[in-house]
Structure formats: C-alpha cells, structure tokens
C-alpha cells in the first residue's frame, strides 16, 4: 500500500490551510481509499477535505467551534486567491489555487477511472438530476451511488439516521457535500465517525456551477482575486454581507497577523487530523 503523507498546514488567522495541489489531492484521495484494504483502517472515521475561502476562514475566526471543525479536517485546500497569496507569503512560494469546483471534477475523473463510487449530498432537489446528468455526460464511467437534497431546516434525528444509513448502504467511497459554508463543514465534522471508510469533500457552490444553475466567474477574474465581485453581482441579496463585511475584516486581520500585532495559534500536535499519514 502506498503511504501518502498529508500536506503541511500553514496558519491563516488560526485556521490551518494545506499547501497542496490538484495532483496532490488526487494522490491523497486514492491513498485514503486504498488504505481500507488494510483491515482495521476501514473502521476509521471518514477522511475530510474542507475548501477554504476568505469567508470560511473569517467565520472561523469569529466562531471557535467552527474553527475546531476546520482544523480537525485532514486537509483544508486554498480555494480563494487571497488564501493562496497568504500561503505564498508564509513560504509556500509555488502555491496555486485549489478551486473547489475544479477539484470536484478532478476527483470525479479519477473516480471514473478507478471505479470509485460517489454520492452527492446537497443542492436543490430539482437541480440534482441535472448535476448527475452533466457529470455522467462528462464521465460516462462514473458510478454515482446516490444523491440526496436535504431540506434547509435541520434534519430530525430520524431523518439524519436514515440519511447516514442510505449513504452507507449505497457503498459510496466518496461523498461530495454541497450544503454551503459553514453548514457543510459542521456536517462533515459531526458525521465523520458515522461514515467510516469514506472520503468527504465539502465543495459548496460546485453543485450549482456544475448543474448550470449559477454562472462561474471568467478565468481572468478568478486569477485576479475578483471572483467575489462577479458572484456579488450575480447574487447581491444573498452574498452582500459575506463580501462587503467579511472580506474587509479578513484583510485587516491578516495584516495584523503578518505584521506581528496579533496571533491565533493552530491546535497543538495530535489534535489536527492533518498530522496523520496513510
């Protein structure tokens, strides 16, 4: 069995962001799934990847429990360009963006080649069939084990138990969770023990993008760190607070950290799942 070390995490406002890449994530995902053949590994909690943006890191700075959930994940990829720039300033000079929607496509491509079964958890009920259709059009060999659109309200204990049972009985290897930040990261953290042997990816808006419900920003805007402006124009009522309040707060806090006026330590060794190897 190939042993793939988890990528190192760098501290951005007290949240560990992994210095990783698309290729690195594909190798890690494959290694995580291969390790299940080792016997007791299959009983270990699900492996979790969170997609980190300015929004998620700033919310984590405000909410200690949410920050714990992010730091407990095995990997936190740098999704937003400001996060990429932060990692570069911390010594990861060659760091590139690991964009959630693109990572989802890359993982689906590898899953189709290797026969891994994927489960789609999240999104709007009327949108999921289109998402499945679009993914299968791109990857005809992709094995979609199941899909479920949870209601916007909290699930009852009975509904949640049924959902977990459905995912486990589907034989899913990989579960894409698209219920939005911070809800999806909390869900992954609280369900990891109940979905042993699986790999969870919190991919947020990727469901909407790949189903064709929401347009993605042009590549030049993404590269320039201006995706937020495009999304704000597309959904101003939903996103104005996120971008017009949290973005300036992030910039202020990051400057304080980099200039040495403030510090928010990462969890001690042994607390973060990123310290483990497979």
Q: Is residue 244 part of a domain?
A: yes
Contact 254, 12 (CB under 8 A): yes
Q: Which domain holds residue 114?
A: 9-270
Q: Is residue 4 part of a domain?
A: no
Question: Which band of pLDDT confidence, cut at 50, 70 and 90, is reported for residue 2?
Answer: low
5 or 29: which leads in pLDDT: 29
pTM of the prediction? Answer: 0.88
Consecutive H or E run containing 15: strand 15-18
User: What is the strand order of the sheet 47-52 is part of?
Assistant: 75-78, 47-52, 199-202, 174-178, 117-122, 143-148
SS3 156: coil
Q: How many structural domains does the chain have? A: 1
Contact 200, 46 (CB under 8 A): yes
Report whether pLDDT(68) > 90: yes
Q: Is residue 83 part of a domain?
A: yes
What confidence tens digit (pLDDT) does each residue in 73-116 have? 999 999 989 999 999 999 999 999 999 999 999 999 999 999 99
127 token code pair = 């949108």
Q: Is residue 86 part of a domain?
A: yes
Q: Is residue 2 part of a domain?
A: no
26 token code pair = 């594909």
Q: How many residues does the chain have?
A: 278
Report whether pLDDT(152) > 90: no
Consecutive H or E run containing 75: strand 75-78
Q: Is residue 113 part of a domain?
A: yes
Q: Is residue 72 part of a domain?
A: yes
Q: Is residue 276 part of a domain?
A: no
Facing residues of 277 across strands?
Answer: 5
Report whether pLDDT(213) > 80: no
Question: Which band of pLDDT confidence, cut at 50, 70 and 90, is reported for residue 255?
Answer: very high
Q: Which of 182, 155, 206 is nearest to 60 (CA)?
A: 182
In whole angstroms, give the CA distance from residue 192 to residue 9. Answer: 20
């Amino acid at each position: 069995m190939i042993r793939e070390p988890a990528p190192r995490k760098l501290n951005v406002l007290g949240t560990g962001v992994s210095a990783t890449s698309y290729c690195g994530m594909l190798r890690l995902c494959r290694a995580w799934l291969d390790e299940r053949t080792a016997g007791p590994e299959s009983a270990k909690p699900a492996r979790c990847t969170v997609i980190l943006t300015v929004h998620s890191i700033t919310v984590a700075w405000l909410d200690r429990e949410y920050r714990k959930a992010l730091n407990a994940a095995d990997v936190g990829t740098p999704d937003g360009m400001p996060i990429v720039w932060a990692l570069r300033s911390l010594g990861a000079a060659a760091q590139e963006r690991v964009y959630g929607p693109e990572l989802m496509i890359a993982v689906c491509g590898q899953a189709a080649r290797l026969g891994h079964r994927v489960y789609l958890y999240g999104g709007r009920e009327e949108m999921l069939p289109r998402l499945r259709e679009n993914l299968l059009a791109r990857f005809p060999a992709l094995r979609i084990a199941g899909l479920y659109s949870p209601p916007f309200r909290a699930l009852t204990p009975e509904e949640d138990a049924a959902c977990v049972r459905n995912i486990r009985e589907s034989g899913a290897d990989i579960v894409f969770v698209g219920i939005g930040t911070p809800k999806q990261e909390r869900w992954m953290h609280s369900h990891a023990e109940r979905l042993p042997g699986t790999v969870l990816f919190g991919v947020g808006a990727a469901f909407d993008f790949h189903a064709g419900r929401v347009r993605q920003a042009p590549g030049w805007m993404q590269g320039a760190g201006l995706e937020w402006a495009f999304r704000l124009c597309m959904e101003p009522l939903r996103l104005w607070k996120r971008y017009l309040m949290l973005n300036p707060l992030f910039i202020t806090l990051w400057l304080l950290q980099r200039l040495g006026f403030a510090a928010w330590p990462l969890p001690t060794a042994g607390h973060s799942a990123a310290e483990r190897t497979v």
